Structure formats: C-alpha cells, structure tokens
C-alpha cells in the first residue's frame, strides 16, 4: 500500500475520533436546535485535525455530506439532510422562497415601528427578518413559534410546513448577526462573515471565510434575501448609534452579541 493511501486512512480515522469527541462535548453543553447553529455542533477541533482543514481551500470541503442531525424535526429540513432526501427538500424550499424584491423596504418599515430613543436592537434584528419573510410567504405571525424552535428546540403546533419553517429558522439568527456586523464593524454587508463555519462529515468544522453563504449543494439560497433584510434594518437605524455592545455569545459557528444598545443621535 502506498504512503499516500496510509495517510488518507489515518486521516479518516483521526477525523472520526475527533467527531466522536465533539459529539460527546456537545451533549453536555447545549440543547439541539438552538439558533441557526448546527445542532450537532461541538467545540472547535484542535491539533493536526484543525490544521488539515485550515491549510487547504476550505470551500472544497463544503461538498462533503453534512453530519446526522439529532433533533428529529430539524432532521427533516433540507439544511440538515443529504442525498437522496436533500434534493426534493431543497426544491420545496426554493418553491416557497419569495423574491428578494421589496424586502429591503419592508424590513425598513417594520424596523421603524419598533424603535425607541434607546433600545437593545438585537431582539429587533432577530424578529424583523422572520416577520417580513413570514408575511411574504403567506404565513401567520409565527415569531414566537420560531423563537421556541431556535432557542429551545420546541416544535409548536402553529409552525407552517417544514419548507417555510426551515427558511424562517435559518434566517433568524444569521440575518441578525449580519446586521449586527454592519452596525459595529467597518465592513460592507457583502463582505461580512456572520456565519463563521459549518460542519461536514469526516472533517468537522469548515471555515466559511471564503464562502460566507456556503457553497455546493448546501449553499444558502437566501443570500440576496439576507442582504436585503439587513440593509433595510440598517437604513431604519441610521439615526441611532451604538452605545453598548455585549460580549459575543460564544457560539461555535455564529457571531452574535448578547446585546447591542443603540441610542438616537442628537440633532
């Protein structure tokens, strides 16, 4: 057997062991379904396991299968499934995903109704994308139900079908993180990286610095939607300034501050 073949066999074994360790850590630290994180997420790997992924072009790993999703409801979403189920489920999402046209204006209008002279804008940044997209998809106000699913993994009776729910589930925290970066950092929304990494079988965490919205079969279909929603919220907040930013929540795959207080600018 060649040295290259031996190295590949060792690498697959090391990756599997690292994933087993990560799964056990996750089981003690968090509940499945919190936010838009991969619910099977674990602490970031280290050592040669980490270096192998970082050294190569990370986008090449995005074509690998996603890990098994332990939450039974989330496991029915396209985001957390592989072939052959992934194709039909992704098409179902694309069939109900609305056009991004008009989302920016709708997000701005909705945000303006929620503003005060001083407020923590994180709840606003989380609620507006959900309410605007739900309205565009013909859903009732399901903000509370989506929050329960994101934060506690609770599946409520009021949720729409899985395709629409998956869109709202995916957009909430990721779009809020995108808008928060636009408010606190000197970068454009197009260049921001709100989701830091995602998981793939056999390699663990894959950084998304070169592909903020993913790539391959599991690329996010809502890139234009997220950018439009974030632009609308930022436009509504143009008359406010950041006065206090909380610590990062420390989620392994998402940049999200615990709070972000803004105050109306003096005229």
Q: Which of 238, 195, 260, 35 minimizes the C-alpha distance to 130?
A: 35
Query: What percent of the chain has a predicted confidence (pLDDT) above 70?
Result: 79
Question: pLDDT for 202-217, tens place per residue?
Answer: 999 999 999 999 999 9
Lowest average pLDDT, out of 9-13, 61-65, 139-143, 206-210, goes to 9-13
Total count of domains within the chain: 1
Q: List alpha helices for 102-142, DSSP H.
A: 103-112, 122-136
E strands of 139-252, at which residues? 197-200, 204-207, 240-245
Question: pLDDT for 149-175, tens place per residue?
Answer: 999 999 999 999 999 999 999 999 999
Residues 6+ apart with CB under 8 A from 258: 122, 246, 247, 248, 249
- pTM here is 0.80
Domain ranges, residue 72:
3-264
Indicate whether 7 pLDDT > 50.
Answer: no
Question: pLDDT for 35-92, tens place per residue?
Answer: 444 444 443 444 444 445 455 577 889 999 999 999 999 999 999 999 999 999 999 9
Mean pLDDT of the chain: 84
CA distance 58 to 63: 10
Q: What CATH number corresponds to the domain at position 51?
A: 1.10.630.10
What is the model's pLDDT at position 59? Answer: 81
């Amino acid at each position: 057997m060649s040295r290259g073949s031996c190295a590949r066999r060792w690498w697959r074994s090391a990756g599997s062991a690292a994933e087993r360790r990560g799964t056990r850590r996750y089981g003690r630290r968090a509940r499945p379904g919190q936010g838009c994180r991969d619910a099977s997420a674990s602490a970031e790997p280290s050592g040669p396991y980490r270096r192998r992924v970082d050294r190569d072009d990370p986008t090449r790993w995005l074509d690998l299968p996603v890990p098994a999703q332990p939450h039974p409801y989330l496991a029915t979403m396209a985001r957390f499934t592989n072939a052959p189920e992934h194709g039909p489920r992704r098409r179902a999402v694309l069939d109900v995903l609305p056009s991004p046209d008009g989302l920016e204006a709708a997000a701005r209008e909705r945000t303006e109704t929620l503003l005060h002279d001083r407020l923590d804008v994180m709840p606003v940044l989380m609620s507006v994308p959900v309410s605007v997209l739900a309205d565009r998809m013909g859903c009732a106000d399901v903000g509370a139900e989506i929050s329960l699913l994101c934060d506690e993994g609770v599946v409520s009776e009021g949720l729409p079908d899985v395709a629409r729910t998956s869109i709202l589930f995916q957009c909430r925290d990721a779009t809020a993180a995108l808008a928060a970066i636009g408010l606190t950092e000197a970068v454009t929304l197009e260049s921001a990286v709100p989701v830091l990494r995602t998981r793939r079988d056999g390699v663990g965490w894959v950084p998304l610095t070169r592909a903020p919205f993913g790539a391959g079969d599991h690329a996010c279909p809502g890139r234009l939607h997220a950018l439009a929603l974030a632009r609308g919220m930022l436009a509504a907040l143009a008359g406010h300034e950041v006065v206090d930013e909380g610590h990062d929540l420390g989620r392994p795959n998402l940049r999200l501050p615990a709070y972000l207080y803004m105050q109306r600018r003096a005229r």
